[in-house]
């Protein structure tokens, strides 16, 4: 899983895990990388290739996200691919 979604609060990370899993996508909670988010809790790994589907599912369930990131091996590590977005 080369994608990572960061959240403002762990509430949304936990909900996102449920929403993506119910939607048939792989998802795994991990400790949120400190350089990507000031949230002390968790972030969610997912398959970046399913990004649009994942974001549509989260949007439909009103799960707010902070940002979407992609792990690029052997170059510059995690890379933020999307500006932080405030979703209601």
Question: Per this entry, what is the length of the chain?
Answer: 88
How many residues bind another protein, per CB under 8 A?
22
CA distance 42 to 45: 10
CA angle 44, 63, 41 (to 5 degrees): 40
Whose Cβ is closer to another protein: residue 28's or residue 51's? 28
Output the DSSP codes for 36-63. Answer: T-S-SSEEEEE-GGGHHHHHHHHHHTT-
Task: Give the shortest CB-9-to-another protein separation in angstroms.
Answer: 4
Per CB under 8 A, 40 contacts another protein: yes
Per CB under 8 A, 14 contacts another protein: yes
Whose Cβ is closer to another protein: residue 74's or residue 88's? 88
User: Applying CB under 8 A, which residues contact another protein?
Assistant: 8-15, 18, 29-32, 38-43, 62, 64, 88
């Amino acid at each position: 899983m080369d994608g990572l979604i960061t959240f403002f609060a762990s509430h949304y990370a936990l909900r996102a895990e449920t929403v993506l899993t119910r939607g048939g996508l792989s998802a795994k909670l991990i400790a949120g990388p400190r350089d990507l988010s000031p949230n002390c809790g968790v972030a969610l790994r997912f398959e970046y290739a399913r990004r649009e589907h994942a974001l549509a599912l989260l949007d439909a369930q009103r799960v707010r996200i902070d940002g979407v990131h992609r792990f690029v091996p052997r170059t510059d590590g995690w890379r933020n691919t999307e500006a932080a977005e405030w979703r209601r």
